[in-house]
Structure 1
Amino acid sequence: MQDVTVVRTSVLPPYAAHLRVYEPLAAYPEPERADWQAYAAEHGPDASAAEQSVAAAVLEEQREALAELAARTPRALPEKESGRAYLRIVDGVLYVCPWATRLRSWQALEELRAGAPVALLDTAVPPVTRAAAEADRERWLAGHPDARPWILTSRWEVPVRWFLPFGDEDRCFVPGGTDGEGVEGERGRPAALFYLVPMAQARRRVARAYRALREAVPEGELVRGAEQVGRWLEEFHPRSLVELDYGGLVHLLGPERLLADRSAGELEDGLRALRAGDTAEALRAYGELTVRWRRVLALRQAN
């Protein structure tokens, strides 16, 4: 395929994007705060500036997950919750985004059950295994009623609603190597495209978009998406950071398309037109953005 890039790594990153929240260390109650502080002292930050990516740490998470599968009989979910996290330092403040692998595995199992054919689902995760995992989840949720993931994952596309918290000025593209393939940067760091913004700004943008969309297209898909994203963001500390990471999609799209991609800015332009009363221009911008990402999503059927 013309725009697909070869990945020079022992692990092929999944074609998935991630929406993450990094909460400041002070947001965590004890003893979690002390645990994350000790973890940060031992491991160091994955990104020590806003313009740095956590792509290398994402590959590390993927390698760890594959090692778990290779070392034992595959399970529907890990036996215990991960003690790992993505760490960012911005303006001298430590921000923590826990992997929460077990919680996310439950969610992935729920998505698989909702979207996969029954025959495939039963082969991948037998009914007895699913029932045990679901019972385990119910017991865990009874003791953690406020649990929510710090990371949302979307495979083969970036949902248009995920761009709502961001503007084009929040975009950061970290190119790959000098060989033009966009794979590994200097010192072996992978290529990345991500947006990073303070929580207050993210909430403000989503709220403004929701108001405009609710007035113009109250039954539209994007207004429901804005409500969904807004509710999720409200679960976190107001001084958090919000990140949209293209993840493994950078290897699917290729460097030329990444350089040209301005999805958040295009959505922002469309919302600006909507607020100005130019519904036709707003629909045109939203339609073009949606069609482009649906073409990316369609690649999952390619061979």
Structure 2
Amino acid sequence: MPNVTAVRTSVLPPYAAHLRVYEPLAAFPAAARTRWQAYAAANGPDAEGADQPVAGAALAEQREALAELAARTPRPLPEHESERAFVRVLDGVVHICPRTTRLRSWLALEELHRTLPAHLLDTVLPPAVRAAAEADRTAWRTAHPDARPWILTSRWEVPVRWFLPFGEEDRRYVPAGEGERPTPPALFYLTPMVQARRRVARGYRVLRERLPRGPLVEGAEQVGRWLEEFHPRSLVELDYGGLVHLLGPAQLAEENSVAELTAGLGALRSGDGEAALAAYETLTARWRKVLALRQAS
């Protein structure tokens, strides 16, 4: 489609997956609604229909970030919040997913605190730089107490809890496009918010009854609470992003994590613990192999 984002580049997206929520224009306050409506009209949709990915727009965002880093002294987070968004049009309705790059940068800093040893963290981001970023965030949070990201990001894997909102019928795989306007490959799931909440709630009930102390219970609760923050007529998308380049065409064709989780929950619901464990081990083994590539040189 002529208005859908397409890029020609040798830059690969980062090895990260994204969980996104696209809200209809009606969900935004009047001033923001007017701004996003003008933005969508000026820039066109990044995807039209349920079968179109936003992979081109996501890759363009990555190129913009790399260009910004090359143009000036790197900073731990952007000085101003992004005024850009991912735009989806479905059944004639415009849906907006603000990028909130600055807020997501703060969340990424929190992740670094959790995952990096102190000496490595100090090398990557000196304590004074982190302290300044945290002070900025505290002041910003005071002025925006209800702010939340429309996009969650996971590097090197898709967390099991992210599969809960989706059904196998939501799966779309789009091979890399060639020719005049090449596009990167994409694997994503897209579903209405009502369906997403219903599936998460069902999964949470089963897990709480059968595995009350398991980490999946807490994960299902986290995803459910996040989804409740958005308009009920939103769209929920799980985008494998740059992970498609780690899985490769053969593995992508066989990738069925959502179906495996659904089967595991069904077995758990019926009391078949052995089948539930087998489905869970198959699912987690796939992502352990992908995660292990993080240590490859």
TM-score tier (shorter): over 0.9
1:152 aligns with 2:152: yes
Measure, in 1, the Cα distance between the counterparts of 2:262 and 2:229: 24
Question: 1:100-145: per-residue Cα shift (whole Å, max 9, x none)?
Answer: 0000000001111221122221121111111010000000000111
What residue number does 2:266 align with?
A: 272
Amino acid at match of 1:203: R
Q: Hey, what does 2:110 align to over in structure 1?
A: 110
% identical aligned pairs: 72
What's 1:3 paired with?
none
Is residue 284 of structure 1 aligned with residue 284 of structure 2? no
Cα shift readout 1:73-113 (whole Å, capped 9, x = no counterpart)? 10010000000000000000000000000000000011112
Q: TM-score when scaled to structure 2?
A: 0.95
- Partner Cα separation in structure 2 for residue 130 and residue 257 of structure 1: 39
User: Which residue of structure 1 aligns with residue 205 of structure 2?
Assistant: 211
Taking the aligned partners of 1:283 and 1:185, their CA distance within structure 2 comes to: 45
Equivalent position amino acid for 1:249 in 2: L
Q: CA deviation at 1:186?
A: 7.2
SS of structure 1 residue aligned to 2:189: strand
Alignment correspondent of 1:257: 251
The runs of 5 or more residues in structure 2 that have no matched partner are 1-7
The letter for the 1-side match of 2:83 is G
Q: Does 1:231 align with 2:225?
A: yes
Aligned residue pairs total 290
SS in 2 for 1:254: helix
Separation in 1 of the partners of 2:215 and 2:179?
Answer: 38
Q: Once superposed, which parts of structure 1, at least 4 consecutive aligned residues long, lie more than 3 Å away? A: none
- 1:109-188 to 2 correspondences below 5 Å: 109-177=109-177, 187-188=181-182
For the structure 1 residues 195 and 112, does the alpha-carbon distance in structure 2 shift closer, same or farther, using more than 3 Å as the test?
A: same
The RMSD of aligned alpha carbons is 1.2
Question: Which letter maps to 2:157?
Answer: E
Q: Give me the whole-angstrom Cα distance separating, in 2, the residues matched to 1:78 and 1:176.
A: 31
> Which amino acid in structure 2 is aligned with residue 215 of structure 1?
E
Contact 1:81 1:103 in 2 (8 A): yes
- Aligned residue number for residue 215 of structure 2: 221
Amino acid at match of 2:193: M
Please give the TM-score of this superposition, normalised by the length of structure 1: 0.94
